[in-house]
C-alpha cells in the first residue's frame, strides 16, 4: 500500500475528502502522516480523531528555508512517505 502524507493548513475539508476516498477503496493508499504549518488547523483535529500521525512544522520555527525543508524531508523519511498531497 502506498503511504501518503497530506499537507493541510486549514479546516481540512480536502484532507477529509481524500480520507473518505481511501476508506471507500477509490484511492489505494494509506494516509501515514498529516503535516500542517498551522497549530490551530482543523485538519489536526480530524487527524487526531482518526489516529493519523501528525506534525506541525512551521517555517517561523527555523532559522532558514533550508532548515525548514530539511525538517519536512526528515518527517517524510521517518514515515516512509511515497507521495505528498497538498490539501490546502
* CATH of residue 24: 3.40.50.170
| Residue percentage of the chain with pLDDT more than 70 | 100
Tens of pLDDT along 56-87?
Answer: 999 999 999 999 999 999 999 999 999 999 99
Q: Could you tell me the pLDDT band of residue 1, with boundaries at 50, 70 and 90? A: confident
Question: Residue 65: which domain range?
Answer: 2-86
Q: Is the pLDDT score of 26 beyond 80?
A: yes
Q: Could you tell me the pLDDT band of residue 21, with boundaries at 50, 70 and 90? A: very high
**Domain count along the chain:** 1
Cell numbers 517555517 correspond to what residue? 59
Q: Could you tell me the pLDDT band of residue 33, with boundaries at 50, 70 and 90? A: very high
Q: What angle do CA 60, 45, 10 make, to 5 degrees?
A: 50
Q: What is the DSSP letter of 59?
A: G
Q: Give start and end residues of each alpha helix (H) in the chain.
A: 13-23, 42-49, 65-78
Q: How many residues does the chain have?
A: 88
pLDDT at 88: 77
Amino acid at each position: 500500500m502506498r503511504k501518503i502524507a497530506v499537507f493541510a493548513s486549514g479546516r481540512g475539508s480536502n484532507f477529509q475528502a481524500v480520507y473518505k476516498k481511501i476508506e471507500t477503496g477509490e484511492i489505494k493508499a494509506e494516509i501515514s502522516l498529516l503535516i500542517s504549518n498551522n497549530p490551530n488547523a482543523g485538519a489536526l483535529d480530524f487527524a487526531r480523531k482518526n489516529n493519523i500521525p501528525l506534525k506541525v512544522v512551521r517555517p517561523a520555527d527555523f532559522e532558514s528555508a533550508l532548515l525548514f525543508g530539511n525538517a519536512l524531508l526528515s518527517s517524510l523519511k521517518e514515515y516512509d512517505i511515497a507521495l505528498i498531497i497538498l490539501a490546502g
